[in-house]
A and B are shown apart, each in its own frame.
Chain A
Amino acid sequence: DTEVTQTPKHLVMGMTNKKSLKCEQHMGHRAMYWYKQKAKKPPELMFVYSYEKLSINESVPSRFSPECPNSSLLNLHLHALQPEDSALYLCASSVQGGQPREQYFGPGTRLTVT
């Protein structure tokens, strides 16, 4: 089973709201990722967690706050977002962080900021 699940599927939020995106995998993977994808563009890496520790932050604005409560769960907390943050947010996982040759993606959360 190579499934990564994400909730919610769709999210509409105002610029003053606080919301969270959730991601879960039960493949025993020790690396988890958040990506942002705009229409007709490839996924853009935001954060990497390796063994539940944040290992990469791609200079993401502080209005995005990741959290890895355990090896199966990954959250992305959202606060005071801007309309340009509207995008598909993808979670992914791989066995380990080094040379992630088998990185599996979830279906994504489509976020609209109004």
Chain B
Amino acid sequence: QKEVEQDPGPLSVPEGAIVSLNCTYSNSAFQYFMWYRQYSRKGPELLMYTYSSGNKEDGRFTAQVDKSSKYISLFIRDSQPSDSATYLCAMTAGNKLVFGAGTILRVKS
């Protein structure tokens, strides 16, 4: 079993939809939880990071962490075609990041 599970998709939604991206994890020692967005042939871009259980909002993005269920989510409101990318969750284990497989998101206009 992988330490971090993430559905690779692809997830296809119409423009304006609310998108929910999720990861589950098995290691209780993970402390920080990040979401990266990666466009094709580009480096990952840090969107948000969270530490404690609860929600953190930044513009159209909301990151949610539930440590008791070992489950994290990223919500994107009013999705745009420019949001089409691969979204990677990542978690800190000591001085390393452990990545999920990434979810391919396609927002159709």
Contact = CB atoms under 8 A, between A and B. Distances in A.
Contacts of A56: 95-96
Nearest to A110: B41
Contacts of B41: 88, 108, 110
Interface in B19-37: 31-32, 34, 36
A100 B43 contact: no
A110 B46 CA distance: 20
Contacts of B16: none
Interface stretch (A43-51, A59-67, A71-79): A43-51
A99 B49 contact: no
A97 B46 CA distance: 17
Size range of the chain B interface in the assembly = 20 to 34
Size range of the chain A interface in the assembly = 20 to 34
Contacts of A42: 88, 99-102
B60 interface: no
Nearest to A43: B99
B60 to A, nearest CB: 19
A98 interface: yes
B94 interface: yes
Nearest to A50: B95
B100 A105 contact: no
A105 B95 contact: no
Interface of B: 8, 31-32, 34, 36, 41-46, 49, 51, 88, 90, 92, 94-97, 99-102
Interface of A: 2, 4, 6, 31, 40-43, 45, 48, 50, 55-56, 88, 90, 97-108, 110
